[in-house]
Chain A
Amino acid sequence: MEKAIRKYWPIFVLPTLVAFSVGFIYPFVQGLYLSFCKFTTIKKVTFNGIDNYAYAIQDSGFWHSFWFTALFTVVSTVLINVIAFAIALALTNKIKGSNVYRTVFFMPNLIGGIVLGYIWQILLNCVLSLMEKPLLALNATYGFIGLIILMCWQQIGYMMIIYIAGLQSIPDDYIEAAKIDGATTGQILFRIKIPNVMPSITICTFLTITNGFKLFDQNLALTGGEPAHASEMLALNIYNTFYSRTGPQWKGYGQAKAVIFCIMVIIISMIQLRITKSREVQQ
């Protein structure tokens, strides 16, 4: 069997590879090329050199979005993972109806980002209006907090499932042995459970960091970048540059920003993977 796989692997890989090339590699390479061009539609392009990159780098709106996104990513990654892990811990204890809770916590993840964004916009605006505070579209700080609440609500359930799987895979012997040796609950948590779920932590931090950086739907629906682009995250900034500006030069600017954005996300998630991977232990 093994021999057959070794022999025929190209055949097995082929369908996915073709789909991946058509759906990802080709558009990516084309996008890279277009980032050096001026164009309205991709059928008529004129080469433009590095002008687009020069513009993207000196665009203050782009950098504002970058810092806003970075802050959002840090805060949301920490909050989502800590809370998701805490809930996972609680639900791996033998609580009555823990399966029901797991389902309930997971559910928000099944709703699309745009829908969630609008629902939360109505909800938060009502609360703010009752408190006689400025609405989401008027205050970037509230917009930021709103985005954090929304993302926590949506993603905690998903990360929780991954953590539950990780916690359940820890052999009971370890914990039993630790208890017999007289370890406290804190010691069991930090010395046994956390090191053993490191693979889950790697995955979850990877997902939350990239999700945070790539966040688009929720941003578009909840704040739309208001007031005056102050709550605009990177993806929305690129979208706005590309689509809501008139004139061929803007398409190139947006494309260049997208390439820079892509490289940044790759670098940051690589660093994160390396850091968390180095802490994983063998069972």
Chain B
Amino acid sequence: MKIKKVLALGLVALMSVATFAGCGDGGKDSAGADGKGKVYYLNFKPEADEAWQEIAKQYTDETGVEVTVITAASGTYEETLQSEIAKDEAPTLFQVNGPVGLANWKDYCYDLKDSSLYNELTSDSFALYDGDAVAGIAYVIESYGIIVNTELLDKAGYSLDDIKGFDDLKKVAEDITARKDELGFAAFTSAGMDGSSDWRFKTHLANLPIYFEYQDKGIDSTDAIEGKYLDNYKNIWDLYINNATCAPGDLAGKTGDDAENEFASGEAVFYQNGSWEYKNLTDKGMTDEQLAMMPIYIGAGDEANQGLCTGTENYWCVNSEASEEDIQATIDFLTWMVTSDAGTKMLADNIGVIPFKKAADTTNLFVLNDRKYTEDGKTPVSWNFTTMPSEEWKNGVGSALTAYAAGTGEWDDVVKAFVDGWASEYAAANN
């Protein structure tokens, strides 16, 4: 009898162990085998995942330090970070998108002030401060504007020099729309409001009215936006939706891929997007001769001297909760990334311009466009959308824009979401 009991208990124990074996993956040593520490990077940019995996492997081969790169699926970075950082094996390196994003994570940001990484920055303005502490380091400078298919523009009988402001853009776009059937292409790609594409308008395009208002008032953030340039926002939005490849009512279901494919296959002349799109377009067979990026003119400010929208919303942060060795390993890895030939080349080719002293030169045409505009004395439009009060605010503006485009909503709803939404979201985020 006793043997039976022991046997039964033994079996139960075995079964339990078998049941939980699957969950037991976390039992690895928390420090590297030889006390070197290790790096776990939670990457934000899905388009650069492959490049990160390769460079991580190369670093491990060279130094023996283990580097793990995990990429969050598009649009789920915050959620992924949320659950990853609570784990025993938390990311040692993550990113925030600016001051608003930092508010959520500042308790987890290691002060990088004395780090070798901070010293590599070309300018202090690329660091993200939390009081005096350096909470984040910008690792890429990007530009966005209206990408132009110059070949098609030429076919329509215009050149880039003909477009010097909003009125010119409107004239050209409307002329192309009038001759759409004859030309065989439209002025703008679809301004899709699907989640994969709506950030181009509710965030990036919305940056322009905010930028000009900030400029007028001489401020760089606000608790209540006035909406002084919302009429300009309406004008450019009207231009986008009424001169596109599809009817305004269909925009609600159009994706980012739709717009990209339309542009790459020559169905439209203009495509609002950024320098990160260069690789996708050239991969799809477009050449430098066909491409150029021009500023987004909305008929505000000094259009003759307006450049591309240039800035960053990508800041590296090192997890302060990680062990000493892991923090050091992470900083070493990043320093290597921005100083070594292999690292800087990977960043230049796959990410874009990096604000570090030893940056490799880039072949990204849109970045070169931006450089040219700046050399010609034009003022880049700064990225003020990092001061938007919350994601919820962006979503509210996005929904209102979609409804307005489809005719189920009024422009007043957009204004309400923009102005009233800003005040209430700012209050909610800062109470």
Interface, chain A (partner B; CB < 8 A) = 8, 11, 14-15, 18-19, 22, 40-44, 121-122, 125, 129, 132, 134-139, 224, 226-228, 243-249
Contacts and interface: CB of A to CB of B under 8 A. Distances in A.
B105 interface: yes
B107 A245 contact: no
Given A11-B9, A246-B103, A226 B402 contact: yes
Contact of A134 (B400, B406, B431): B406
Contacts of A247: 103-104, 429
Interface in B372-416: 390-392, 395-396, 399-400, 402-403, 406-409
Interface in B209-232: none
Interface stretch (B117-125, B248-256, B357-365): B248-256
Contacts of A41: 82, 85-86, 108
Nearest to B105: A40
B178 interface: no
Interface stretch (B12-20, B159-167, B309-317): B12-20
Contacts of B32: none
26 contacts: A11-B8, A15-B16, A41-B85, A41-B108, A43-B86, A121-B253, A125-B252, A125-B253, A129-B253, A132-B249, A135-B249, A136-B252, A137-B252, A138-B252, A138-B402, A138-B403, A139-B408, A224-B195, A227-B399, A227-B409, A244-B78, A246-B103, A247-B103, A247-B104, A248-B104, A249-B431
B90 to A, nearest CB: 9
A15 B19 contact: yes
Contacts of B85: 41
A227 B398 CA distance: 9
B193 interface: yes
Contacts of B103: 246-247
A228 B400 contact: yes
Nearest to A16: B19
Contact of A246 (B16, B100, B194, B407): B100
A138 B248 CA distance: 12
Select the residue from A18, A246, A247 with max chain B CB neighbours within 10 A.
A246
Contacts of A245: 390-392
Given A22-B20, A40-B105, 9 more contacts: A15-B12, A125-B252, A132-B249, A135-B406, A227-B403, A228-B399, A228-B400, A246-B100, A248-B104
A226 B391 contact: no
User: Which 9 pairs, one residue from A and one from B, show the smallest C-beta to C-beta distance?
Assistant: A228-B399, A41-B86, A137-B252, A135-B252, A125-B253, A246-B104, A243-B79, A15-B15, A138-B408
B12 A137 contact: no
B101 interface: yes
Contacts of A226: 252, 399, 402
A19 B17 CA distance: 11
A127 B100 CA distance: 40
Interface in B1-28: 8-9, 12, 15-16, 19-20
A42 B83 CA distance: 9
Nearest to A10: B12
A43 B429 CA distance: 22
A14 B408 CA distance: 58
Contacts of A42: 86
Nearest to A250: B428
A135 B391 contact: no
Interface string B12-51: 1001100110000000000000000000000000000000
Interface of B: 8-9, 12, 15-16, 19-20, 78-79, 82, 85-86, 100-101, 103-105, 107-108, 193-195, 249-250, 252-253, 321, 390-392, 395-396, 399-400, 402-403, 406-409, 429, 431
Nearest to B11: A11
B12 A11 contact: yes
A18 B19 CA distance: 10
B426 to A, nearest CB: 12
Given A40-B104, A40-B105, A243-B78, A134 B429 contact: no
B392 A243 contact: no
A137 B104 contact: no
B92 to A, nearest CB: 15
A244 B391 contact: yes
Contacts of A44: 107
B223 to A, nearest CB: 15
B141 to A, nearest CB: 24
B317 to A, nearest CB: 13
Nearest to B18: A15
A132 B406 CA distance: 10
Contacts of A132: 249
Nearest to A227: B399
A42 B321 CA distance: 13
Contacts of A224: 195
A134 B429 CA distance: 33
Contacts of B392: 244-245
Contact of A243 (B82, B406, B409): B82
B431 to A, nearest CB: 8
B157 to A, nearest CB: 33
A137 B194 CA distance: 9
Contacts of B407: 134
Contacts of B195: 224
Contact of B249 (A14, A40, A134, A249): A134
Given A135-B252, A139-B408, A246 B101 contact: yes
A243 B104 CA distance: 12
A41 B104 CA distance: 10
A246 B107 contact: no
A135 B250 contact: yes
Nearest to A41: B86
A216 to B, nearest CB: 14
Contacts of B107: 40, 44
A40 B408 CA distance: 38
B40 to A, nearest CB: 15
Select the residue from B85, B101, B103, B253 with max chain A CB neighbours within 10 A.
B253
Select the residue from B107, B400, B403 with max chain A CB neighbours within 10 A.
B403
Contacts of B86: 41-43
Nearest to A243: B79
A226 to B, nearest CB: 6
A137 B403 CA distance: 9
Nearest to B96: A246
B400 A246 contact: no
